[in-house]
């Protein structure tokens, strides 16, 4: 996930007691899913460092929750065993080649994302790689986009370049932390107003006109 300098600077390396990521605790997982049918047989997740604070930043410890060597076979397994009746969207796609591989592996769509720049400093913006990905998978395959969506004009630009939909992350959490549910509602209304205004100025009556 990269190195979170702000977390290290603020000594945020683990959750303070008694807080826990209970949905990841072994005892909770075993009680709720005794057969663990949802866990890939080859999964190898080391949970020993999650609460240790061994690394300087929180992400370096929590990244131990995740499989370190995912492959396209994992995507095929997820679609076959877990998402039979649910759409499977592969997030983190930044190249046409990976979008094609995701589609071949059975994904129902992809999300073009650099995870908000959390992983690699100076990574390409998602809006720059969107057109080649849309061209590679075709307009009948859902291509979502996030990372950098801050205004309604950002939504319009993504749609114009072929995105099926966009996701918003940081603005939502900023609003939630400042003003709770009411602020999140206000944020979504702002996005709607800005998007509708941008579309009108561009002469678009509906999303299909973009």
Helix 96-104 × helix 126-137 angle, to 10°: 50
Q: How far are the Cα atoms of 19, 47, 201 from residue 148, in angstroms, in the given order?
A: 31, 31, 22
Q: Which residues are catalytic?
A: 115
Evaluate the omega torsion of the peptide bond into residue 64 and state whether it is cis, within 30 degrees of 0: no
Give the list of residues 6+ apart from residue 181 with CB closer than 8 angstroms, or none. Answer: none
> How many angstroms separate the first and last alpha carbons of the chain?
34
- Find how far residue 52's CA is from the centre of its chain: 26
Of the candidates 130, 80, 129, 131, which has an alpha carbon nearest to the alpha carbon of residue 106?
80
Tokens standing for residue 79 = 């679609």
């Amino acid at each position: 996930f990269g190195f979170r300098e702000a977390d290290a600077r603020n000594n945020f390396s683990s959750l303070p007691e008694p807080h826990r990521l209970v949905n990841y605790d072994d005892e909770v997982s075993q009680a709720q899913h005794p057969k663990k049918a949802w866990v890939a047989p080859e999964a190898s997740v080391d949970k020993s460092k999650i609460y240790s604070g061994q690394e300087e930043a929180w992400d370096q410890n929590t990244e131990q929750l995740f499989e370190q060597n995912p492959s396209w076979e994992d995507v095929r397994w997820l679609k076959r065993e877990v998402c039979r009746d649910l759409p499977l969207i592969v997030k983190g796609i930044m190249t046409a080649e990976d979008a094609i591989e995701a589609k071949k592996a059975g994904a129902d769509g992809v999300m073009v994302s650099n995870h908000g720049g959390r992983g690699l400093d100076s990574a390409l913006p998602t809006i720059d790689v969107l057109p080649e990905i849309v061209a590679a998978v075709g307009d009948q395959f859902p291509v979502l986009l996030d990372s950098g969506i801050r205004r309604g004009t950002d939504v319009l630009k993504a749609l114009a370049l072929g995105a099926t939909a966009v996701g918003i992350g940081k603005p939502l959490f900023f609003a939630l932390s400042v003003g709770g549910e009411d602020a999140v509602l206000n944020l979504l209304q702002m996005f709607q107003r800005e998007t509708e205004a941008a579309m009108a100025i561009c002469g678009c009556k509906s999303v299909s006109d973009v």
